[in-house]
Structure 1
Amino acid sequence: MPILQSTFKPLFQFKNGFVSTVYSGILRKVKIEQKRERIETRDEDFLDLDWSYSAEKSNQVIILLHGLEGHAQRPYVTATAKLFNQNGVDAVCMNFRGCSGEDNRFYHSYHSGATKDLDDIVQHCIKNKNYSKIYIKGISLGGNVVLKYLGEDRVLPQEIKAGIGISVPVHLDGSSTELQKLKNRPFAIRFRKHLIDKLKIKQKQFPEQLKDEHLKTLKTLRAFDDFYTSKAHGFKDALDYYTKSSSLQFLPNIKVPTLIINALNDSFLSSECYPVKEAKHNDNLYLEMPNYGGHVGFIQKGDVYYNEKRALEFVRQFDTHN
C-alpha cells in the first residue's frame, strides 16, 4: 500500500524523542481491572494471560504483546486494552515466558522471533473462548513477534482480521547496533540490568549453565544475546538469532491488513526498520512514519495516545469486510 501520511502532532514538550520515550515508559499511569488466566503451552510450559472485558459480551478480542522485559501491566499495553474495552472489544494481554512475576519452567524463555506461544493464544481464543474476530497488536519486540507470525509459512485462522505493530525493530541486527550507541546508553543499561536479574533467578534452577563468571562477562545487550538468547533458543550466536528472527523478511508474505507505526525520531530503530519498499509492494501492509513519537511515545492531548487511537481506527476500517 502507499505509505500513510501521519496526522500525529505531539505536544511541544514531547517532540523530543528521548523525553517522549521516558515519559511514556516510566511516568505514565493507567488504571484497569484485569483477570489472570494461566494456560499450558504445547511444550508443557505455561503462559499467564491478563484479561479485561468490554461492558457487553463481545465476539471480538485484541491480543496485546509487550516489549523487551515488559509485562501485561505496562501502560502501553493496558491503555490499548482499556480503549478497546470501551469500544466493545475484549482484550487479552500476553505475558511472555518469565515476565508475569514467576519464572518459566525451562532454560529457554522468550525472544523476538518466538511465535508459537502467540499461536497458542490465538488458538485458545478461538477454540476455548469462541471469538470470531481477533486483532493482534505488538509493541517493540512484541511487534516483531506479531509481524513475523503474520508473515510466516502458516495458514492463518480466518478469525484474525488485522495486525498492528508499534515501534517495531523489524531489522534486529540494525536495532541492536543502535542500542549500543551512546545516545541509548541509559536504555541499554536498564534493559541489561533487567535481563541479568532474570538470569540470576533462572540460575537457581540451572546453576551449571548460568555460572557467576558467565554473568559477569555480559557487558552489553549483544553479549547477552550471544551468550543466552541465541544459545538457549537454538541459534548459533546473536547474529544468527537476529537474522532468522527479524520480521522484515516476512513482511512481503502478510495477507491480513497490518499497520506499522515507526516514528522517524525513534532512537532504537536503524534505517532498515522503516520498510518502505515492503509496504509499497504489499497491498495488506500499511506503513506510517510520524516525524515524532520516539520509542512508543506517541503522546497527544488527553489520556489516549496516538498509536492507540490509530489501532482502533485501523481495525474499525476493516469491520465492513469481515
Structure 2
Amino acid sequence: MQYQAPPWLPGGHAQTIWPALFARRYEGSPPQFRRERWQTPDGDFVDVEHLIDPATTPATTPTAAPSTGPAATPAERPLLVLFHGLEGSVESQYVQAFAAVAQQRGWAFAMPYFRGCSGELNLAPRAYHSGDYTEIGWMLEQLRASHRGPIIAVGISLGGNALLRWAQEAGDSAAQTVKAVCSVCSPVDLTAAGHAIGKGFNGLVYTRMFLRTMMPKAMSKLKQHPGLFDAERMRRVRNLYEFDNIFTGPVHGFRDVDDYWLRASAKPHLARIRIPALVLNARNDPFVPAHSLPEQSHVGAHVTLWQPREGGHVGFPSGRPPGHVRTMPQRVTDWLATRL
C-alpha cells in the first residue's frame, strides 16, 4: 500500500488520535445499521450490526461503485465482515468508514460484537481476547449459513490478530467459509505490543482510555460470577499487562499474561495460512512497534504484507483539514475485491 500522511498531521500519535476524533468517515449520509442477536452454544449471546441493504439505501455520491450485477439479490452480494478492535463498536471511525465503502461497492456488511462490547454485559464467565479464533470461527459460520454470496473478512487491531489466528487454525478449510481476510494494524506480536502500549505517552493516554471501560466491565463480570478473579488486585491495575494477567489471560484458559500473549499471537503462525491474507501495519503505529512486524521470511505464499511508513494506529488520514479516513478502507477493499 502506497500511503503518505498529509503534511499537516505528522507523526504516529497525531495520525492515530485525530482520525479517531475529528476526520470525516463517510460521504453523504451516515451508514444505517440494524442489530441482530445470536444465541451462543454456551448459553450466552452476541450482537451483530448489519448494514441496511444498499439496494434500498441509494448511494449519495457520484463516486459510488455499481453493485455486483442486476441479478444479485442481497443474500448473493459479497459480504464484508468486520471484526472490531479492543473496546470497539459501531461508532468507531473505522467501522463507519468500512461500512460506507462497502455500501458504495454494493456489498453487504456485518460487524459482530465481541462479548460485552454491544452495550450490554454478556452472561458467561468470559469476555473476549486477541486469540479468540474459536469465537471468530463460530461467528463466520453463522454468517456463512445465512448468506449465499462470497464472504471476505477484515479484522481491526485485536480483531485482526484473532481473525488471522482463525485462518491459521482453519488451514485449508478456511476457504469453505471466506474468500480472503485482512488484518489492519494488528498486534501480531502481542508481547511486543503489550509492553509498548504501557510505556510513556502510550501509557498515559491509550492505556488509560482502554482501562476506563475495561475495568468497570470486569468488575461487573465479577458480580455476575463471584470468585472469577481477585477484586483487590483488579483495583490496583495500572496497565494492560496487569489487567490481562488478572483477568483476560486466566479467565480465558491461559496460565497468565505471558502465556496468553505468547499463545495468542498470530506472527509465529503466518506461514500456516492457506487463503489470501493481507497484513497491513503502519510502521509508525504507536501500539505496534515496527521491529515486531513480520518480515517476508515469516509468511507463506498466501500472505501479503503492506507496511507503509506512516498511518498511525488505524488512522491513515487523507485530505485537507479535518481530513478523512476513507483511503485505507478503499485500498483494502480494492485488494479484497480481486480475490472474490
Q: TM-score, normalised by structure 2?
A: 0.87
**In the alignment, structure 1 residue 240 sits paired with structure 2 residue 283:** no
Equivalent AA in structure 2 for residue 43 of structure 1: D
2:150 is aligned to 133
SS, match of residue 268 in structure 2: helix
Equivalent AA in structure 1 for residue 142 of structure 2: H
1:288 is aligned to 306
**In the alignment, structure 1 residue 96 sits paired with structure 2 residue 108:** no
Equivalent AA in structure 1 for residue 274 of structure 2: K
Instruction: Describe the shift of the 1:315–1:189 C-alpha distance in structure 2 as closer, same or farther (beyond 3 A).
Output: same
Query: 8 Å contact 1:168–1:273 — kept in the other structure?
Result: no
For residues 30-59 of structure 1, give each alpha carbon's deviation from its aligned partner in whole angstroms, at most 9, with x where no partner exists.
421000001112222111000003226332
> Which of these residues, 166, 178, 192, is aligned with residue 174 of structure 1?
192
1:69 is aligned to 87
Instruction: Measure, in 2, the Cα distance between the counterparts of 1:306 and 1:66.
Output: 18
For residues 238-281 of structure 1, give each alpha carbon's deviation from its aligned partner in whole angstroms, at most 9, with x where no partner exists.
000001100112210111111111011111113453111346x5
**In the alignment, structure 1 residue 150 sits paired with structure 2 residue 160:** no
Instruction: Describe the shift of the 1:272–1:234 C-alpha distance in structure 2 as closer, same or farther (beyond 3 A).
Output: farther
SS, match of residue 63 in structure 1: strand
> Which of these residues, 215, 224, 228, is aligned with residue 234 of structure 2?
215
Instruction: Measure, in 2, the Cα distance between the counterparts of 1:145 and 1:111.
Output: 8
Q: CA deviation at 1:234?
A: 0.7
Instruction: Measure, in 2, the Cα distance between the counterparts of 1:12 and 1:269.
Output: 22
Query: 8 Å contact 2:282–2:309 — kept in the other structure?
Result: yes
Map 1:231-270; keep pairs closer than 5 Å: 231-270=250-289
Query: 8 Å contact 1:115–1:146 — kept in the other structure?
Result: yes
Query: 8 Å contact 1:37–1:49 — kept in the other structure?
Result: yes
Equivalent AA in structure 2 for residue 176 of structure 1: G
1:3 is aligned to none
Instruction: Describe the shift of the 1:41–1:287 C-alpha distance in structure 2 as closer, same or farther (beyond 3 A).
Output: same
Instruction: Answer with 196-205 or 131-140: which moved more.
Output: 196-205
2:61 is aligned to none
1:22 is aligned to 17
Instruction: Describe the shift of the 1:50–1:175 C-alpha distance in structure 2 as closer, same or farther (beyond 3 A).
Output: same
Q: CA deviation at 1:159?
A: 4.1
Instruction: Measure, in 2, the Cα distance between the counterparts of 1:278 and 1:146.
Output: 21
For residues 287-318 of structure 1, give each alpha carbon's deviation from its aligned partner in whole angstroms, at most 9, with x where no partner exists.
11111101011011264532201111101222
Q: CA deviation at 1:75?
A: 1.6
Q: CA deviation at 1:28?
A: 3.9
2:141 is aligned to 123
Instruction: Measure, in 2, the Cα distance between the counterparts of 1:20 and 1:134.
Output: 30
Instruction: Measure, in 1, the Cα distance between the counterparts of 2:147 and 2:232.
Output: 49
Equivalent AA in structure 2 for residue 137 of structure 1: V
Instruction: Measure, in 2, the Cα distance between the counterparts of 1:116 and 1:153.
Output: 10
Query: 8 Å contact 2:155–2:184 — kept in the other structure?
Result: yes
List alignment gaps of at least 5 residues for structure 1: 1-5
> Which of these residues, 306, 316, 322, is aligned with residue 337 of structure 2?
316
2:215 is aligned to 196
**In the alignment, structure 1 residue 13 sits paired with structure 2 residue 30:** no
List alignment gaps of at least 5 residues for structure 2: 56-66, 68-72
Instruction: Describe the shift of the 1:276–1:234 C-alpha distance in structure 2 as closer, same or farther (beyond 3 A).
Output: same
Instruction: Measure, in 2, the Cα distance between the counterparts of 1:110 and 1:244.
Output: 15
Q: CA deviation at 1:208?
A: 3.5
2:64 is aligned to none
Query: 8 Å contact 1:24–1:76 — kept in the other structure?
Result: no
Instruction: Measure, in 2, the Cα distance between the counterparts of 1:104 and 1:200.
Output: 13
Aligned residues: 312
Instruction: Measure, in 2, the Cα distance between the counterparts of 1:223 and 1:250.
Output: 26
1:111 is aligned to 129
Root mean square deviation, CA, Å: 1.8
> Which of these residues, 297, 307, 310, is aligned with residue 328 of structure 2?
307
Q: TM-score, normalised by structure 1?
A: 0.91
Instruction: Describe the shift of the 1:241–1:272 C-alpha distance in structure 2 as closer, same or farther (beyond 3 A).
Output: farther
Instruction: Measure, in 2, the Cα distance between the counterparts of 1:41 and 1:273.
Output: 35
Instruction: Measure, in 1, the Cα distance between the counterparts of 2:283 and 2:34.
Output: 36
Map 1:17-56; keep pairs closer than 5 Å: 17-28=12-23, 30=25, 31-52=30-51, 53-55=53-55
SS, match of residue 336 in structure 2: helix
Instruction: Measure, in 1, the Cα distance between the counterparts of 2:297 and 2:215.
Output: 36
Percentage of matched positions with identical amino acids = 29
Instruction: Describe the shift of the 1:130–1:224 C-alpha distance in structure 2 as closer, same or farther (beyond 3 A).
Output: same
